[in-house]
Amino acid sequence: MTDSLISSAYSQALEVIASVEPRIAEATRQELTDQRASLKLIASENYASPAVLMTMGTWFSDKYAEGTIGHRFYAGCQNVDTVESIAAEHARELFGAEYAYVQPHSGIDANLTAYWSILAHRVEGPWLSDAGVKNMNDLSEADWEKLRASLGNQRLLGMSLDAGGHLTHGFRPNISGKMFHQNQYGTDPETGLLDYDALLAKAREFKPLILVAGYSAYPRRVNFAKMREIADEVGATLMVDMAHFAGLVAGKVFTGEENPVPYAHVVTSTSHKSLRGPRGGFILATEEYAPSVDRGCPMVLGGPLSHVMAAKAVAFAEARTTEFQGYAQKVADNAKSLAEGFLTRGAKLVTGGTDNHIVLLDVSSFGLTGRQAESALLDAGVVTNRNSVPQDPNGAWYTSGIRFGTPALTTRGFGHDEFDTVADLVVDVLSNTQPGTTKAGEPSKATYTLGDGVADRVTKRSAEMLDANPLYPGLELT
């Protein structure tokens, strides 16, 4: 696809939008301008290709398609069946999975669907069989109440939020923490690394029905063979949330025991982040769990977003190329460069480094909270997000850490030298930021003062790298 064709397509699309609501067209233009001018270091964000983005803006958005391929609750879904079949085919081939389900709207939807699918497979199915019925509608009201209590009283063991887990891994304010009797495993207090022996001991004691592996802020790889051994020993279903590192699996950076697909019963993911697709979710599973997962709609989901499923198919096709494998390796290499850049400048990293796409910086050594650091960096055009660190004294709101990710800037073409410079810019900002005080004169966890001239200095140095590595090069809006 030529640059002129892409530019023409987007320019004309914005003209159409502006004819109805010009403020939306202007906000869309401004978003591209802002993204081009900032150092995007949020680990869960990336830049989708023009092909992926364009695929979402079609009339597939107009279709309702509840149900599954060939078995819809609406007529006229033959083209949606084609789209979903292609997306699932690409996902199976890309990850070497027995089954793929591409309907979830997001990572949280994927996790909820997976949880209820596992419950249906492990609890509902055997319960109905013992009751001598084939359908829940055939249960008496008393039996239904017993089944409902049983479904809602199962045990889930997931990684704690401050150790790097996700809200949906059993965090109590999240629905996953309400629907399960949950417990959490953490990391070694000295190294910040997963302790598989301690995890096994906790699993033996807690005896979960579901063991959740995966992370959103753990900067190391996981041995999924060991996780499966632990799950098997306690009779648990191993569910892996690979939303963050799916691109590293697809790109063959994580192989062998670091690839969750051969070891997990069920794998959930998002299609954006390191996979560089549209915002959405999907599920991979063994054939054993496929029938339960296939009931995602109407069990958890409503109508699938057919236009996004189409974009997932395009993204999965892109990820099946050698070019994408090279990109994924650069993502991991650049994370090491960023970590080394921080360490050589005296910064403190959780686990002392990284071997995936995440770098977790403990900003307490700068005398700051994560919220202060996040805000000061944003003032200088560096887009990050605050994040808890293990045993975080500031909790999940203010935090003591900043999470960095390399997928987005790697898409722009950044390499070792640029990420070393990024580390220098971040340290420059944080070293010149002072925590503020409250109105009562007490130390504040939110307010701060950034030194004079720092934002301009950092923005100028950032602009040189950004100009040399343009976002969507050749795309010019008229």
Which CATH number is 209's domain given?
A: 3.40.640.10
Q: Is the pLDDT of residue 421 over 80?
A: yes
List pLDDT tens digits, range 375-388: 999 999 999 999 99
Q: What is the pLDDT of residue 1?
A: 62
Residues 196 and 217 placed together within one structural domain of the fold: yes
Provide mean pLDDT across the span 430-445. 91
Residue at token pair 């096994």: 200
Residues 235 and 260 placed together within one structural domain of the fold: yes
Q: What is the pLDDT of residue 319?
A: 98
409 close to 425: Cβ distance less than 8 angstroms: no
In the listed set 259, 287, 319, which residue is the last one of a domain according to the structure? 319
Residues 141 and 158 placed together within one structural domain of the fold: yes
Among the listed residues 254, 232, 255, the one whose alpha carbon sits nearest the alpha carbon of residue 245:
254
* Averaged pLDDT score across all residues of the chain: 95
Cα 292 versus chain centre, distance = 23
Provide mean pLDDT across the span 145-152. 86
Confidence band (pLDDT; 50, 70, 90) for 252?
very high
Residues 275 and 395 placed together within one structural domain of the fold: no
In a domain, 37, yes or no: no
Q: What is the pLDDT of residue 143?
A: 87
Residues 361 and 315 placed together within one structural domain of the fold: no
Q: Is the pLDDT of residue 132 over 90?
A: no
**Helix/strand/coil (H/E/C) assignment for every residue in the chain:** CCHHHHHHHHHHHHHHHHCCCHHHHHHHHHHHHHHHCCEECCCCCCCCCHHHHHHHCCHHHHCCCCEECCEECCCCCHHHHHHHHHHHHHHHHHHCCCEEECCCCCHHHHHHHHHHHHHHHHHHHHHHHHHCCCCHHHCCHHHHHHHHHHHCCCEEEEECHHHCCCHHHCCCCCHHHHHCEEEEECECCCCCCECHHHHHHHHHHHCCCEEEEECCCCCCCCCHHHHHHHHHHHCCEEEEECCCCHHHHHCCCCCHHHCCCCCCCEEEEECCHHHCCCCCEEEEECCCCHHHHCCHHHHCCCCCCHHHHHHHHHHHHHHCCHHHHHHHHHHHHHHHHHHHHHHHCCCEEHHHCCCCCEEEEEHHHHCCCHHHHHHHHHHCCEECEEECCCCCCCHHHHCCEEEEECHHHHHHCCCHHHHHHHHHHHHHHHHCEEEEECCCCCEEEEEEEECCCHHHHHHHHHHHHHHHCCCCCCCCCC
In the listed set 319, 340, 365, which residue is the last one of a domain according to the structure? 319
Residues 352 and 378 placed together within one structural domain of the fold: yes
In a domain, 200, yes or no: yes
Phi/psi of residue 349, each to 5°? -110, 140
Provide mean pLDDT across the span 102-108. 96
Residues 254 and 209 placed together within one structural domain of the fold: yes
Q: Are strands 39-40 and 382-383 parallel, antiparallel or unpaired?
A: parallel
Provide mean pLDDT across the span 194-211. 97
Confidence band (pLDDT; 50, 70, 90) for 236?
very high
Residues 273 and 421 placed together within one structural domain of the fold: no
Q: Can you read off the two tokens belonging to residue 112?
A: 């909820």
- pLDDT > 70 in the chain, percent: 100
Q: Can you read off the two tokens belonging to residue 70?
A: 């060939």
Tell me how many domains the chain contains: 2
Provide mean pLDDT across the span 86-105. 98
Q: Which residues contact 174 (CB under 8 A, 6 or more apart)?
A: 167, 168
Q: Are strands 281-285 and 99-101 parallel, antiparallel or unpaired?
A: antiparallel
For 67, the domain range is: 60-319
In the listed set 304, 319, 334, which residue is the last one of a domain according to the structure? 319
Residues 169 and 88 placed together within one structural domain of the fold: yes
Residue at token pair 């909820």: 112
Q: Which residues contact 148 (CB under 8 A, 6 or more apart)?
A: none
Burial classification of residue 139, based on how many CB atoms lie within 10 Å of its CB (0-12 exposed, 13-18 middle, 19 or more buried): middle
